[in-house]
Structure 1
Amino acid sequence: MKPNITTIPITELFTDTDGCPICRMHRMLEEQYVEYITGAAMMAPDVRVKTNRVGFCHRHFSMMVNNGPRLSNALLLQTHIDELRKKVFPKKNTDLPDKKMLAAIRENDRTCYVCDRIEHDILHLLATVYVQYGSDPEFRKQYQDQDFICLDHYALVMGNANKKAMDKSTFKEFCEVTNKLSKGYMDTLYDDVTHFASMFDYRNQGGDYKNSKDAIERSVRFLTSYPVNENLT
């Protein structure tokens, strides 16, 4: 398959085999949007209208504060807080519990502009993955050589797998490979965590930990899509 503007980013993401490739995809989009929000988007009225309304989750607020200009963050917070206070504490507030006001607070806790954009864009990138797997033997090999696909992204990849992007036998192979990348790795994690825990038995004192020393950290990464104590800067 001849490289083009849509396939090049995917090929680059799958060149690396450390960890989950969809996590790398997610991180790429995340970094792009955090930079965009505190940069060019500051002067985009349509974007500011959306960010004022939905805000950001703790993770992406943290990335914005740690990486973006202080003034940009202040202006984003200024207009977001202003819209939020009008919704949550209207002028006719009686200081008594109000179901609509409390619902608005809960809704704000669950919404994030960056998360929404990533959720949208990652499906378009996955569509290219399916096409490349079905038409490019070299990419197919790259996909098969991945370290693992984390549990959350396994569900995303399999739930959106496009049968039309590849022939029947290739689609079957794709599902088998994806299943192996997740289930196979999960089985390995179980064995490693079990072995690690067994090393605390006095009868195994001084024994060989084998590959289990970082089993806890690897398990958390697989189960949550994020490394333990990930630096958000």
Structure 2
Amino acid sequence: MKIELETIPVWDGVQENCECFICSLMSEAQKDAINFYLGNSVMNPETRVRVNEHGFCPKHWRMLAAANKPQGVALMGDTYLETTRVKAGAAINGLLSASNPRQAKKAVRAFHAVMDSREKGCLVCSAMEERLQRYLYTTCYLWGEDPSFREALSQGKGFCLHHFTLLLEIGEKALSSKLYPEFVRAMAQLEVANLDRMAKDVHWMTQKYKSENADKPWHGCEDAHKRTVDTLTGRSRVIDPVR
């Protein structure tokens, strides 16, 4: 398994000391991918061919449309819509010509299949997946090779449960069979400690809304509900996770 290492952003992420530095890195990866398709790349014929073939998932189409770069999105939308109509041409004709229930059901299934295929392979999601795999692999690699990174990671705030799961899976590929069990134990200990911290924070938030605690300090738990949701779901997760 040969993967390009991303040591600098991973080190920077660990030193950021956020709730899940992989989520933070993936937020940047998403911004980079969106900006790429809003920039001059849209004038590149190779890029337009890729957009016409793969397009974007609904979430990333909406992000592109909301980014205040209408010309580039219009150019991509123009040729993507044209390509979609060509690919769906036979299925649309089937819908138009259906004259009995059997033909109608068959035509709807055919059209559904074309639309499903058009919504798969989002270029932004694919770019994020590639970055995610490199970030996870690099985290495991540095843990195995660099004692200072291992120490820094152990002092951090752990991971969201989504990225924690993927990290453990990638660790099997990135580390030796001798190191892997130690890595799993260390990551589990880190995660449990931080889940305990999160549980304490969100519980105190629930108690702060009781009248008898109104004048007591928040102890930094004002955003515990948001951090809890981020920990449970992953703030910037890829739709199709690395496997």
Q: TM-score range by the shorter chain?
A: 0.7 to 0.9
The one-letter code of the counterpart of 2:175 is A
The change in CA–CA distance for 1:213 and 1:40 in structure 2 (over 3 A counts) is same
**Counterpart contact for 1:88–1:102, Cα < 8 Å:** no
Counterpart of 2:101 in structure 1 is: none
Counterpart of 1:176 in structure 2 is: 185
Rounded Cα–Cα distance in structure 2 between residues aligned with 1:182 and 1:60: 31
Counterpart of 1:225 in structure 2 is: 234
Rounded Cα–Cα distance in structure 2 between residues aligned with 1:223 and 1:165: 26
The change in CA–CA distance for 1:199 and 1:69 in structure 2 (over 3 A counts) is closer
**Counterpart contact for 2:5–2:134, Cα < 8 Å:** no
CA deviations on 1:33-73 (whole Å, 9 max, x unpaired) are 11222224324434323322332234323432344632111
Counterpart of 1:157 in structure 2 is: 167
Superposition deviation, residue 120 in structure 1: 2.5
Stretches of structure 1 that go unaligned for 5 or more consecutive residues are 228-233
Rounded Cα–Cα distance in structure 2 between residues aligned with 1:139 and 1:78: 48
The change in CA–CA distance for 1:73 and 1:17 in structure 2 (over 3 A counts) is same
The one-letter code of the counterpart of 1:182 is E
The change in CA–CA distance for 1:25 and 1:162 in structure 2 (over 3 A counts) is farther
Rounded Cα–Cα distance in structure 2 between residues aligned with 1:221 and 1:64: 23
Rounded Cα–Cα distance in structure 1 between residues aligned with 2:57 and 2:193: 32
Question: Which residues in structure 2 correspond to 1:111-190 (within 5 Å)?
Answer: 111-162=121-172, 165-166=175-176, 168=178, 170-190=179-199
Counterpart of 1:20 in structure 2 is: 20
The change in CA–CA distance for 1:205 and 1:7 in structure 2 (over 3 A counts) is closer
CA deviations on 1:59-95 (whole Å, 9 max, x unpaired) are 3234323446321111111111112233345462443
Stretches of structure 2 that go unaligned for 5 or more consecutive residues are 99-103, 237-243
Superposition deviation, residue 100 in structure 1: 1.4
Most deviating of 157-166 and 126-135: 157-166
Rounded Cα–Cα distance in structure 2 between residues aligned with 1:17 and 1:46: 39
**Counterpart contact for 1:51–1:80, Cα < 8 Å:** yes
**Counterpart contact for 1:132–1:140, Cα < 8 Å:** yes
Counterpart of 1:37 in structure 2 is: 37
Rounded Cα–Cα distance in structure 2 between residues aligned with 1:215 and 1:85: 47
Counterpart of 2:241 in structure 1 is: none
- SS of equivalent to 1:149: coil
- Higher relative contact order, structure no. (Cα contacts within 8 Å, ≥ 6 residues apart): 2
Rounded Cα–Cα distance in structure 2 between residues aligned with 1:33 and 1:178: 30
Rounded Cα–Cα distance in structure 1 between residues aligned with 2:65 and 2:30: 14
Counterpart of 2:93 in structure 1 is: 92
Rounded Cα–Cα distance in structure 2 between residues aligned with 1:202 and 1:5: 52
Question: Which residues in structure 2 correspond to 1:203-214 (within 5 Å)?
Answer: 209-214=218-223
- SS of equivalent to 1:92: helix
**Counterpart contact for 1:133–1:166, Cα < 8 Å:** no
The one-letter code of the counterpart of 1:51 is V
Length, aligned pairs only: 223
CA RMSD of aligned residues (A): 3.0
Superposition deviation, residue 204 in structure 1: 5.5
